[in-house]
Structure 1
Amino acid sequence: MTARPAFAPRWSARFGRRPMLAAGLSILGGFVLLAVLAPWIAPYDPILHSKGAELLPPSLAHPFGTDNFGRDVLSRVIWGARIDLQIAVIGVAFPFLIGTVVGTVAGFFGGWVDTVFMRLVDVVLAFPFLVLMLSIITILGPGLGSFYIAMALVGWVSYARLIRAQILVLKTQDFAVAAASLGFSRTRIMFRHLLPNALAGSLVFVMSDAVLVLLNGAAISYLGLGVQPPMAEWGIMVAEAQGFLTQAWWITLFPGLAIVTLAFGFSLTGDALADLMGVHE
């Protein structure tokens, strides 16, 4: 009979006492469901123009109203969850992976390897984040692919610094010294012994970074450099509605609320995970 891990009851009890974590995960789960079920729950085609139905206020037929092209705003908000969740996840995943590898290698080997990588970090940090990201997107051309590349090239430095700092401390601990004494390879020591113990802070940072990526993605789309019309994306919806703020407030309000709510879900989850994992202790 397999014994239950001793930490499981304690972890479950700590998890159950975190209503903030439950709220954050509920918000994120709700948006994931919207994204997955969009083809079945969206009442209208999100990109279909409907002549004669332009700028209709919220009603039973169109709960969120329609935009200047007669498109149903509710349907576009629901379908927009797919793209904006994708932006948040992919926009964080690549910087996290690159920064984790760079930080682990730099912290473990030290010396000239550490010097080279950290000088590269200094070069990236010498430029304002948004300016550098916009420059890369402008060179590559508008689109989500360019946004992801820009985020990967600019966003990895924070993760690299976090992981490097943890590895520098952990590699002097007894378990790491013992692993080296047993003749384990450097790769095994780095990625099986040190890295799992260094990831807690980065995993918490992922959630707060997802908020930044989400807002950057919406901003880039607002500027016309991210997702391109007629795709349903919250930043584009806000951009297209800016000329109708006084006569059709609903076109801006609902996608704006979607951005804020999803960002709030990521923020709540990150703060609760920080408490649960003892990152702030």
Structure 2
Amino acid sequence: MTAAAIGRTTTGKRWLGGNTTLAIGAALLALFVLMAIAAPWIAPYDPILQNGDVRLMAPSWAHPFGTDNFGRDILSRVMWGARIDLQIAVIGVVFPFLIGTLIGTCAGFFGGIVDIVFMRLIDIILAFPFLVLMLSIIAILGPGLSSFYIAMALVGWVSYARLIRAQMLVVKTSDYAVAATSLGFSRSRIMFRHLLPNAISGSIVFSMSDAVLVLLNGAAISYLGLGIQPPIAEWGVMVAEGQSFITTAWWITLFPGLSIVVLAFGFSLLGDGLGELLGVKE
């Protein structure tokens, strides 16, 4: 066997064996992404079309996931709901990630008064329960996804800032950082081209776990009536709508709730796999 073939075999074993969690997590997420993209073509019914003739119908061949109290097909609503919930998980992480990364990089690199100001701001935010602070912001701005994203951006950046700051304090004393400073590179180049790429892996891994929390928070906000508004198909809204029928029509809450669990499980596995791949220790 040639050296190249041995190398490919070793790499394949490493990915297939050592990163099984990464593969399973990526497969689950890919499944939901494909379902969300293909929902207009593969969903058997209109997700908001009401049909009183089939209301509260148990799972059957015609309606594999059953119907709700308005006669809407649960399977179709779950498929269309994947679009909203994936959007919540992604956008709800991206903006806190970017804001927290920028603030943590500046605080860790410059130190001094910059670090003190940002750390005191973080202490103030952490003094309030996360969900209570989010609900307060959404209540002020009004219900809807835009308010949810703004609340996440204003509150969720704290964890990323603390992670990046801690890593920046370590990497800015490394030999390559000292060498870059000695060569006269600008501060922005040292921060974003030399230090940040070596400090960001932990935040990338954390973002997968954070996506789980964002997904659950989004579902909770919708459940409380402050997120997506009916009749739009969203898993948290579906769970809220089915709670009154939990003993007689269990399928209304079961399938959207199960979808939340499986998607969250996929993000968790992806985060564990990335942590293993990037060498990030818990």
Q: TM-score range by the shorter chain?
A: over 0.9
User: Deviations for 1:17-37, whole angstroms, at most 9, x for unmatched residues?
Assistant: 221111111100000000100
**Which 5+ residue runs of structure 1 have no aligned equivalent?**
none
Alignment of structure 1 residues 47-196 onto 2, 5 Å = 47-196=48-197
- Alpha-carbon distance in structure 2 between the residues aligned to 1:227 and 1:64: 22
The answer to whether the 8 A contact 1:14-1:276 is kept is no
Paired letter, 1:233: E
Q: What does residue 15 of structure 1 align with?
A: 15
> In 1, distance between residues paired with 2:217 and 2:16?
33
Q: What's the offset of the Cα at 1:13?
A: 4.6
Q: Which residue of 2 aligns with 1:40?
A: 41
**Aligned residue in 1 for 2:228:** 227
Q: Deviations over 1:219-274 (max 9, x none)?
A: 00000000111100000000000110111011010001000000000011111211
> For 1:269, what is the secondary structure of its paired residue?
helix
Mark the CA change 1:171 to 1:8 in structure 2 (over 3 Å): closer, same or farther: farther
- Partner of 2:242, secondary structure, is helix
User: Residue in 2 aligned with 1:263?
Assistant: 264
Aligned residues: 276
Instruction: Report deviation, 1:197.
Output: 0.4
2:103 and 2:153 map into 1 onto residues whose CA distance is 13
Runs of 4+ in 1 over 3 A off after TM superposition: 7-13
2-side partners of 1:173 and 1:21: how far apart? 30
Aligned equivalents of 1:11 and 1:184: distance in 2?
Answer: 37
**1:118 to 1:11, Cα distance in 2 relative to 1, 3 A:** farther
Aligned Cα root-mean-square deviation (Å)? 1.5
**Structure 1 CA distance, aligned partners of 2:12 and 2:189?**
30
Distance 1:280 1:59 in 2: 47
User: Which structure 2 segments of 5+ residues have no match?
Assistant: none
Aligned to 1:279: 280
Please state whether the residue corresponding to 1:146 is helix, strand or coil.
helix
| Structure 2 counterpart of 1:36, one-letter code | I
How many Å separate the matches in 2 of 1:204 and 1:68? 41
Q: Give the TM-score, by structure 2 length.
A: 0.95
Q: Distance in 1 between matches of 2:60 and 2:85?
A: 26
Deviation at 1:8, TM superposition (A): 9.0
Which residue type is aligned with residue 111 of structure 2? Answer: G
Q: Residue 53 of structure 1: CA displacement?
A: 1.3
- SS at the partner of 1:172? coil
CA distance in 1, matches of 2:192, 2:8: 24
Residue aligning to 1:198: 199
> Deviation per CA, 1:34-90, whole angstroms, max 9, x where unpaired?
010000000000001112110011111100000000000000000000000000000
Are the counterparts in 2 of residues 207 and 266 from structure 1 also a CA contact under 8 Å?
yes
Structure 1 pair 133–193 and aligned structure 2 pair: CA distance change class (3 A): same
CA contact (8 A) 1:80 1:234 kept: yes
For 1:41, give the aligned amino acid: I
Q: Distance in 2 between matches of 1:133 and 1:94?
A: 15
